[in-house]
Structures are given as structure tokens and as C-alpha cells.
């Protein structure tokens, strides 16, 4: 069996909103909540990838809300796959297309394969399959993890992506124990980038920065091989805020440094959007209080909880090897040996 990689995608980067494709491939027919950012991610994802795309959706709120009997918003071919199977479905579909084209049963053309999953199905149950998929460099497929920080499909239960202290149906605040959830959010894209050198593209995005997100989708598909994009999706129902503030909360997540925007291309990390401006010292990082106070799931926080949250985010930015991305610290005695430049990016010497 040949191991040749199929042709890469010709998907140029979008320079501004005027370059965004006009065609809508995720249309009416879904039943997502008002203000749902995950639905916006689906729209941006397929708008960026174009009509020659196969979408695979694992069980989650984007599966249930988008497949009410006799209705669907998908204009492109779409298939449901089981909870936790997004990585397997992406790899299997890519392999199937490759075989059909090799045998001449299908025209050899550029067909995108994108499998999406929620944080429960991707960061928790499906992480093993995604990890395995990212090691098979001979198959072109993208796994997109849309993260609303809970199991929103089954009534807002706790996931590994739920932030510290947040109220969910599994972590209510009470008189005897004010904080039921005290774990810090799992760093999925950082973990996958560090452990999967065969994957040419891994990124973190947000629908509040639509052009940035669509360019990341395009770059992942254009580079080819197994790739991964993780988005943070504000959820009015799970986060307890008015639906009109979804975009604003996405901006605040990035501007407070809680959700850094970045991409790792062939092992090189590039910070993007406001995250890059903050790292370079051209934009001031906002306090996390501005983000937390807008959501009912943090309404029980007292000052010491906010201070702890702020301290953890500060640590991500001041102590991590790459701000908000790689959670390693380097002892001061080893900085010179490892030739690590901790100065802001705009002060560093260019090669």
C-alpha cells in the first residue's frame, strides 16, 4: 500500500472580512441555544474549508442540536460518530478516501475531512483516539475540539475543561463547601503540541476572533497530515449570562490571558491576535475579574478565589516557557545553558 500523502489544500489565508467566502454551508435548521458560540464555530469552520468537505460529528450538543429529525443545517456531507470517537472517525474516513482514490473508484481530488468533538468527547473520553490520530502523518484530517467547558449535551456536568471553581450541576456551591471544583483546566493543545511531533499543525482559537480562527482552519487543512484546533466557546446556558454577551466574553477570555491564541507549525509556536500583542508588551493584559464577574457560574467567588485565579493566570504568563502554552518552568541556573530568552518578544534579538 502506498504511503504517499494526498495533495495539500489550496486554501489561501484570509486577510480581512472582505476576503471571507460568501457561501454559507452551515445554515438554518439547527436548534442551538441563542448566543451559542459553538454554532458559530461550526459556521466558521465549514465556511473556511469550503464545499469539498466531509464533516464528522461525535455525540455532544453540536450533534444533538444539529440533527433534529428531518432537519439539518449541514450543506456538506455529514455523519454522526460515537462519543469519544472523533479521532478514529477522522483517521478512518481519511484512510477510506485514500484507498478509494488509489483504486480509481473515486476521483483523486482535494477533499477535506474534519471531525469535531466537544470537550467531554475530546478532552476527556476521546483524547486517546485524537492522540493516536495525530501520529499517523500519512492521512489528511483535522480534529476540531469545541470547548464550552462542560458536558452541555447532558445538562452542564463537570469536564476536565471546566475552569477552577465554576459551578456546574456536578459542582454546586454550598454552605459547607463553597468550591466543589478545585482542579485547573487541562491544557489540551499544549499537551498535544508537546507530545506529537508528527502533527504539523496544532492551534488554539476563538470564534470571537473569526478571521484568526478561519485562517487556522485553512492552515491546518493546507499543511495536511493529522492536525488539531481547539476553540473556546462561551455558552450562555452553562456559563449563566445573557446570550448577547457571547462575543464579548470570548474577547475577555483572550484579553485577560485566560485563553491564549496561538498555533504550533512544524514545532514552532506563534502567538496570534491580542495574545501576541500582550506578549510583546503592546497591549496590557486585563484582570481576570472583568471576565469572571460577567458569569453566574462564578457568582459565589469571594476575593480570595479571584486572587487565586489571577495568580494562576499570572503564573502562566510569567513562569511558563512559552506564555500560556507550554507549562514548564526553567530554573534560573539553566536559562543560560538552554539559551532561553525571557525578554518580551519585541525586545528579543532577531536571527
C-alpha span between 264 and 192 (Å, rounded): 10
Per-residue DSSP letter, 120: I
- In degrees, rounded to 5, the angle at the alpha carbon of residue 144 between the alpha carbons of residues 26 and 45 is 30
Instruction: Give the β-pairing of 226-232 and 141-147.
Output: parallel
Which DSSP string corresponds to 164-186? TT---TTS---SS-S-S--PPPP
3-class SS of residue 248: helix
- Beta strand extents in the chain (DSSP E only): 53-58, 78-81, 112-118, 141-147, 201-206, 226-232, 262-265, 268-271
Could you list the pLDDT tens digit for every one of the 351 residues in the chain?
444 555 555 789 999 888 999 999 999 888 899 999 999 999 999 999 999 999 999 999 898 888 877 788 999 999 999 999 999 999 999 999 999 999 999 999 889 999 999 999 999 999 999 999 999 999 999 999 999 999 998 999 999 999 999 999 999 999 989 999 999 999 999 999 999 999 999 999 999 999 999 999 999 999 999 999 999 999 999 999 999 999 999 999 999 999 999 999 999 999 999 999 999 899 999 999 999 999 999 999 999 999 999 999 999 998 888 888 888 877 777 777 777 777 767 777 654
The set of residues, in sequence order, having a beta carbon less than 8 Å from that of 229 and lying 6+ positions away, is: 142, 143, 144, 145, 202, 203, 204, 205, 213, 216, 217, 220
Amino acid at each position: 500500500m502506498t504511503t504517499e500523502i494526498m495533495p495539500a489544500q489550496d486554501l489561501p489565508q484570509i486577510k480581512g472580512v472582505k476576503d471571507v467566502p460568501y457561501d454559507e454551508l452551515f445554515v438554518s435548521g439547527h436548534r442551538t441555544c441563542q448566543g451559542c458560540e459553538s454554532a458559530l464555530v461550526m459556521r466558521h469552520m465549514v465556511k473556511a474549508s469550503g464545499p469539498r468537505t466531509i464533516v464528522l460529528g461525535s455525540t455532544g450538543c453540536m450533534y444533538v442540536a444539529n440533527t433534529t429529525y428531518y432537519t439539518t443545517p449541514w450543506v456538506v456531507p455529514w455523519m454522526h460518530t460515537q462519543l469519544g470517537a472523533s479521532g478514529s472517525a477522522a483517521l478512518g474516513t481519511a484512510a477510506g478516501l485514500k484507498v478509494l482514490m488509489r483504486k480509481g473508484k473515486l476521483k483523486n481530488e482535494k477533499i477535506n475531512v474534519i471531525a469535531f468533538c466537544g470537550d467531554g468527547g475530546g478532552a476527556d473520553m476521546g483524547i486517546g483516539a485524537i492522540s493516536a490520530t495525530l501520529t499517523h502523518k500519512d492521512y489528511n484530517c483535522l480534529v476540531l475540539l469545541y470547548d464550552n467547558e462542560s458536558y452541555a449535551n447532558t445538562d452542564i456536568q463537570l469536564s476536565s475543561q471546566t475552569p477552577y471553581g465554576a459551578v456546574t450541576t456536578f459542582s454546586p456551591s454550598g454552605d459547607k463547601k463553597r468550591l466543589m471544583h478545585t482542579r485547573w483546566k487541562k491544557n489540551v493543545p499544549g499537551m498535544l503540541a508537546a507530545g506529537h511531533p508528527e502533527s504539523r499543525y496544532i492551534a488554539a482559537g476563538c470564534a470571537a476572533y473569526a478571521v484568526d480562527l478561519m485562517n487556522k482552519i485553512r492552515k491546518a487543512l493546507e499543511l495536511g497530515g493529522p492536525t488539531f484546533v481547539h476553540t473556546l466557546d462561551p455558552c450562555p446556558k452553562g456559563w449563566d449570562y445573557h446570550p448577547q454577551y457571547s462575543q464579548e466574553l470570548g474577547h475577555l477570555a483572550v484579553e485577560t490571558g485566560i485563553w491564549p491564541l496561538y498555533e504550533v507549525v512544524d514545532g514552532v509556536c506563534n502567538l496570534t491576535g491580542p495574545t501576541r500583542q500582550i506578549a510583546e508588551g503592546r497591549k496590557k493584559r486585563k484582570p481576570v475579574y472583568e471576565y469572571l464577574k460577567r458569569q453566574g457560574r462564578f457568582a459565589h467567588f469571594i476575593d480570595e478565589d479571584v486572587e487565586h485565579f489571577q495568580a494562576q493566570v499570572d503564573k502562566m504568563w510569567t513562569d511558563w516557557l512559552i506564555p500560556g502554552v507550554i507549562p514548564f518552568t526553567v530554573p534560573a541556573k539553566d536559562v543560560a545553558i538552554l539559551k532561553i530568552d525571557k525578554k518580551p518578544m519585541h525586545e528579543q534579538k532577531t536571527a
